[in-house]
Amino acid sequence: MVKLSVVPARPLMLALIAGFALSACVSSKPVEPPTPPPVVEAPAPVKPLSYLPDDTADDARDLNLTGDQLPPERFRRTEIDYQTDEPPGTVIVDTGEKHLYLIEEGGKALRYGVGVGREGFAWKGTVEIGSRQKWPRWFPPKEMVARERARGHNIPDMMEGQVGNPLGARALYLYDGTKDTLFRIHGTFEPKSIGTNASSGCIRMANADVMDLYERVQVGTRVVVR
């Protein structure tokens, strides 16, 4: 059984309940059935990667993946030397450094910048990708809807996957065995939050980066958050 530990130290159930109640990551129930990961050859060494608009058919929409949608420069995607005991294909999230690493063959890794949980919502543990969704729906928690309405701001009970959706262009749903943790690795339209403690426990990535990672991982991929 996977154990998740909360940072700073406090009872696990209290931190998880708080994270689930306030998280902007709660979304539609994953529908994609698990599929075995394909055999993928190790990618050739690359330099810092360019950010180009995705022109695939399902992303034929006005999504600007350049300019002000880029993460801060030091958190942009690149390939680095990286030594670890974790096998290739593993995703490692370093919440202290605000980096996500996709482990490759030959002591290499693709490194992406991320935003992580703010104080009281940080967590650590080993989970796996239980589902993947393109342009996921967002269901804001009822507490958030009520709070915003009290402030005079009406937010929908559900938002379709679209530009401006808090889950961004892609979402990877993190599971503890068969149980949805309600934490996600997902995109954001606030790339300036990359490199900060800004979320309710989810792992944020610039849309261009989460779209890139989405194509490289599968259901069942091991994710180590530390």
> Tens of pLDDT along 55-87?
444 453 446 666 678 899 999 999 999 999 999
Q: Phi, psi (5° rounding) for residue 180?
A: -70, 120
Compute the Cα dihedral for 190, 194, 196, 200 and give only its sign. Answer: positive
Q: Are 91 and 102 in contact (CB under 8 A)?
A: yes
Task: Provide the 3-class DSSP secondary structure of residue 218.
Answer: coil
Task: Give the pLDDT of residue 155.
Answer: 84
Q: Which residues does residue 170 pair with via DSSP β-bridges, in sequence order?
A: 134
Q: Where are the domains of the chain?
A: 5-32+52-225
Q: Which CATH number fits domain 5-32+52-225: 2.40.440.10, 3.40.190.10, 2.60.120.260, 3.40.50.1000?
A: 2.40.440.10
* pLDDT given for residue 4 in this prediction: 59
Is residue 200 within 8 A of residue 184, CB to CB? The reply is: no
**Distance separating alpha carbons of residues 112 and 123, to the nearest angstrom:** 19
Q: Which residue numbers in the chain have pLDDT < 70?
A: 1-67
CB contact at 8 A, 111 and 82:
yes
- In this prediction, residue 156 carries a pLDDT of 86
The pLDDT, as a whole number, for residue 75 is: 96
Per-residue pLDDT at 144: 74
